Amino acid sequence: MTITHPHPPLRGQQLPVVCVRHGESPDVIVRLPDGTHAGVALRDTDYAADPQAGLSAVAVPHLLDLKGLRQLAQLIDERRRQGRCPNRPC
């Protein structure tokens, strides 16, 4: 996603999208070069320039993939069998 608004210091930079917040004034949460996150009005980006693309064009990465979720479930199961996580959340 590219910042297209003429005034922000990040104008012209391509930033990865973390998520999209929908509502009356939709915006995108982007990852800044220093690793922090910031909200940018959707109308100030190249997504607003292409109404045919819509919000579905924003690729939101999954925080955990299926393999990671399975590994987590196996770890919890193993800890419960060892008595290190008995019948309550770990």
The domain ranges of the chain are 1-59, 63-90
Sheet holding 17-21, edge to edge: 17-21, 27-31, 37-41
pLDDT given at position 36? 92
pLDDT given at position 87? 63
Give the pLDDT band (50/70/90) at residue 89.
Answer: low
**51, two tokens:** 């109404």
Q: What are phi and psi of 33, to 5 degrees?
A: -55, -30
> Residues 21-69: pLDDT tens digits?
887 888 888 898 898 998 888 888 887 555 455 445 445 455 667 888 8
> Residues 60-74: pLDDT tens digits?
455 667 888 888 889
**15, two tokens:** 């930033």
* Top-confidence residue, 10 or 57: 10
